[in-house]
Chains A and B, each alone.
Chain A
Amino acid sequence: MHKYKEKAFTAITYTASLFTIMVLFALIYGLFREGLPLFNKVSLTEFIFGIGWYPTNAEPEFGAWTFIIGSFCVTIGALIIGIPLGLGSAIFISEIAGNRLKEIVKPVIELLAGIPSVVYGLFGMSTIAPLIRNWLNLDTGLNIFTASVILGLMIVPIIASMSEDALTNVPKSIREAALALGSTKMECIFRVIIPAAQRGIIGSILLGLGRAIGETMVVLMVAGGSAQIPKSIFDSVRPLTSTIAAEMGETVIGGLHYQSLYALAILLFVLTFAINLITEFFIAKRDKK
């Protein structure tokens, strides 16, 4: 009886994991099945580097370049905001704060990760966007800057908590060695501890990057949504994710427009998949040491 239970348990967990993996493959299969046919009519270069996106015109155009640029801008912006805040918090928590302060600050930052993205979006729309519009006298506060700020705040907990783990994992013996050679605390942090933790730190940044590229709700709400090549950080953009979410409802299943949105999804998938692979590489290498 006991043995039987054991076997059943193994079978159940095995099936569960197998099912999860199958879902992934089904997803990838579906993505490519729906999206690839677009490339019978539109060349890959035209799709990636084309500037016009007029999927419903009599002579439709499917140029995703403005969306790629849009995604790129808000993601880089998010990193510019998120990396200093995240790394700064990580260094503070792991190296500077005393134990009691650490026990307060760490969970609070991690709490940020649990806030639904639509709440971040609302905050951006109702607070940051009007502030920036009035302050700089713009037509709209929904632009790259606002989206970057909100996305940046969203990835802070990811970068902070993973980097903090990486820093905390640097052995005490190495810290002692650095201090015993006459380092100040700051020299010890910047010249020894951070370099020793760099793989984990880079991994955390890449994870944040992946999150920022894939985030949809926030950019849909605060990036403005105009498909254009931006000239300043206060221009509106339309990232890949917003385009898919905004237009999917208007398409005919199996139609060219429908296929083109799937093609955007493939692009997004390939991007995030590549980032995850690289992240994995960084984190795995670190653990081996």
Chain B
Amino acid sequence: MVNNILSTENLNLWFGRNYVLKNVNLNVADKNITAVIGPSGCGKSTLLRCFNRMNDLIPETHIEGKVKLLDDDIYTSKMDVTEIRSRIGMVFQKPNPFPKSIYKNVAYGLQIQGKYCKDEINERVEQALKAAWLWEEVKDRLHSPAMALSGGQQQRLCIARALANRPEVLLLDEPTSALDPQSTAKIEELCLELQKSVCILIVTHNIAQAGRISNYTAFMYLGELVEFGHTEKVFTVPQDKRTESYLTGVFG
């Protein structure tokens, strides 16, 4: 029995009248990389955003079913949204560092929690930057603006910023789609390293990327979770016709 850290049970989601997620049942195993693939508009980013309740920001969102982080149903009213979000880190499609210094970007999540002293924060910032493979490049200029970094560095800074909270899960929403191939390769390698300590759920447009880094792959199409299983299996012997057509490039 695999240890599931994230799971959904009969998850349905509407934006207004738009039926976006249709009865999704997904189990995400801890300390693994799970990739969600599918054509544009299939709901994969929306699914990702269910896990840290980012869809709450969109008015007229209606959700039915359960979303669980370990044993906690994150959509019950007694759950504190900010706590969930500090336990589940997220990295977005375009690097989005704050217009602050490198240090302040990484320290932000810890500072708002208000329970860490300065030394602890310094230590965790260093650890997070090291874990995101950015420390060597920025250790001498922690207080210079984050915006001055290259795109790839900015994205790794965003990963560091998410890691500083020591999340149980890292959600990556097409993290390399705005980056050049070299930066992409570096982030993929980084993911493979990070999965040893944190569960990674990555949404990607790039089928090859899913093949390179993920242990499990979920294929979504028109709001449905069509197929889910070991990446190797999904890629070599897909059970569903639609998965096969997508993987072979019939549509996408």
Contacts and interface: CB of A to CB of B under 8 A. Distances in A.
Contact of B57 (A174, A179, A187): A179
Interface string B78-108: 0000111110011010101111100000001
Contacts of B61: none
A177 B96 contact: yes
A178 interface: yes
Given A176-B54, A187-B112, A191-B108, A182 B85 contact: yes
What is the interface residue range for chain A against chain B?
A: 10 to 19
A86 to B, nearest CB: 23
Contacts, number: 64
B96 A182 contact: no
A195 B100 contact: yes
Interface in A228-281: none
Nearest to A199: B99
A182 B113 contact: yes
Given A182-B165, A187-B112, A191-B112, A177 B86 contact: no
Interface residues of B, number: 27
A140 interface: no
A173 B93 CA distance: 9
A181 interface: yes
Interface in A171-208: 171, 173-174, 176-184, 187, 191-192, 195-196
A289 interface: yes
A178 B90 CA distance: 10
A196 B98 CA distance: 8
A171 B147 CA distance: 14
A177 B72 CA distance: 23
A184 B82 contact: yes
Given A182-B109, A187-B112, A191-B108, A173 B158 contact: no
B79 to A, nearest CB: 13
A181 B162 contact: yes
Contact of B94 (A173, A181, A192): A173
Contact of B98 (A178, A179, A184, A187): A178
Given A182-B86, A182-B109, A182-B113, A177 B98 contact: yes
Nearest to B95: A173
Nearest to B82: A182
Contacts of A177: 92, 96-98, 158, 161
Interface in B160-195: 161-162, 165
A171 B96 contact: yes
A176 B85 contact: no
B247 to A, nearest CB: 30
A23 B54 CA distance: 55
Given A191-B108, A191-B112, A180 B98 contact: no
Interface of A: 171, 173-174, 176-184, 187, 191-192, 195-196, 289
25 contacts: A173-B92, A176-B57, A177-B98, A177-B158, A177-B161, A178-B98, A178-B108, A179-B85, A180-B85, A180-B90, A180-B162, A181-B108, A181-B109, A181-B112, A181-B162, A182-B82, A182-B86, A182-B109, A182-B112, A184-B112, A192-B98, A192-B108, A195-B99, A195-B100, A196-B98
